[in-house]
A and B are shown apart, each in its own frame.
Chain A
Amino acid sequence: MTDWRALAAALRAPIEQEDWAQVLPVMENLERALDPLRENLDHGEAPWTSDDIE
Chain B
Amino acid sequence: MTILEAGRALRERRVSAAELVTQALDRIARADPKLNAFITVTADAARARAKLLDEELAQGRNRGPLHGIPIAHKDMIETKGVRSTAGSKLFANHVPDSDAELVQRLDAAGAIMIGKTNLHELCHGITSSNPHFGAVHNPWDFDRIPGGSSGGSAAAVAAGFVPMATGTDTGGSIRIPASYCGVVGLKPTFNYVSCRGVMPLAFTLDHAGPIGRTVGDAALSFFSMTGGAGQITLPQPDLKNLRMGVPGNFFFDRLHPEVASAVRKAVQTAGALGAEVREIRLPDVDALNTIGRLIQLAEASTVWKRYQHRRADFGSDVYALLQEGLLIPATDYLDAQRVRRKLSREFSKVWEQVDCLIAPATPVTAPKIGETQVQFDGAAEDVRLASTRLTRPFNVLGWPALSLPCGFSESGMPIGLQLAGAPKRELMLFRAGAALEDAFGLAGKIPNR
Please give the residue numbers on chain A whose beta carbons come within 8 Å of chain B beta carbons, in ascending order: 2, 4, 7-8, 11, 13-15, 19, 22-23, 26-27, 30-31, 33-34, 37-38, 40-42, 45-50, 52-54
Complex Cα spacing A37 to B290, Å:
10
User: In the bound complex, what is the Cα–Cα distance between A46 and B341 (angstroms)?
Assistant: 7
Minimum CB–CB distance for B396 against chain A, Å: 9
**For residue B309, which residues in chain A have a CB less than 8 angstroms away from its CB?**
14
Contact with A along B259-297 (1 / 0, CB 8 A): 000000000000000000000000000110011011001
B329-387: which residues lie under 8 A (CB-CB) from chain A? 329, 332, 334-342, 344-345, 348
- A/B interface sample: 7 pairs, CB < 8 A: A7-B327, A15-B326, A19-B320, A23-B324, A34-B291, A53-B397, A54-B422
Q: Indicate if the CB atoms of B204 and A45 lie closer than 8 Å.
A: no
Give the CA-CA distance A14 to B314 in the complex, in Å. 14
Interface centre among A15, A19, A23, A48 (most CB of B within 10 A): A48
CA distance in complex: A45, B344 (Å): 12
B398 → A minimal CB distance (Å): 4
Q: Choose one: A15, A33, A42, A53; the contact of B290 (CB below 8 Å).
A: A33
Asked if B311 is at the interface (CB within 8 A of a chain A CB), the reply is yes
Q: How far is the CA of A50 from the CA of B290 in the complex (A)?
A: 19
A53 and B338: CB pair below 8 A?
no
Residue B308 lies at the interface, judged by CB distance under 8 Å to chain A: yes
- Contact, CB under 8 Å: A14 / B287: no
Cα-based distance from A45 to B291 in the complex (angstroms)? 15
Contacts of B204 in A (CB 8 A): 48, 50
Contact between A4 and B341 (Cβ–Cβ < 8 Å)?
no
Give the nearest-CB partner of A4 in chain B. B327
Complex contacts, B337 vs chain A, CB 8 Å: 47-48
Beyond A14-B323, A27-B324, 6 extra complex contacts between A and B, CB < 8 Å: A14-B308, A30-B290, A30-B297, A33-B286, A48-B338, A50-B191
Verify A34–B290 contact, CB threshold 8 A: yes
Which chain A residues border B398 with CB–CB below 8 Å? 50, 52-53
Which of B190, B287, B342 is the most central at the interface, judged by chain A CB atoms within 10 Å of its CB? B342
Q: How far is the CB of A45 from chain B (nearest CB, A)?
A: 5
Contact of A52 among B287, B324, B341 (CB under 8 A): B341
CA distance A49 to B338 in the complex (A): 9
Contact of A38 among B338, B344, B399 (CB under 8 A): B338
B173 / chain A contacts, CB cutoff of 8 Å = none
Q: Are A13 and B327 in contact (CB under 8 A)?
A: yes
- The 3 nearest A-B residue pairs measured at CB: A47-B337, A48-B340, A48-B341
- Complex: A48 Cα to B345 Cα, angstroms: 10
Q: Which B residues touch A14, using CB under 8 A?
A: 308-309, 311, 323
Q: Which residues of B contact A (CB under 8 A)?
A: 189-191, 204, 286-287, 290-291, 293-294, 297, 308-309, 311, 320, 323-324, 326-329, 332, 334-342, 344-345, 348, 397-399, 422-423
Distance (Å) between the CB of B178 and the closest chain A CB? 22
Q: Which residues of the other chain, A, contact B320 by a CB distance below 8 angstroms?
A: 19, 22-23
A30 touches B294 (CB 8 A): yes
- Whether the pair B291, A41 counts as a contact (CB closer than 8 A) is no
The answer to whether A8 touches B327 (Cβ under 8 A) is yes
Question: Distance in Å from the Cβ of B278 to the closest Cβ of chain A?
Answer: 22
B190 touches A50 (CB 8 A): yes
B323 touches A15 (CB 8 A): yes
Instruction: Give B305 Cβ to nearest chain A Cβ, in Å.
Output: 10
- Bound complex: CA A45 to CA B345 (Å): 12
Q: How far is the CA of A31 from the CA of B290 in the complex (A)?
A: 9
Note all chain A residues with C-beta closer than 8 A to B328.
30
Q: Do A34 and B338 have beta carbons less than 8 Å apart? A: no
Q: Give the residue name and chain of the B residue nearest to A2 (CB).
A: B329
Identity of the chain B residue whose Cβ is nearest the Cβ of A31 in the assembled complex:
B332
A13 & B326 in contact (Cβ 8 Å cutoff): yes
Q: Within the assembled complex, what's the spacing in Å between the Cα atoms of A23 and B322?
A: 10
Q: Whole-angstrom distance from the CB of A52 to the nearest CB of chain B?
A: 5
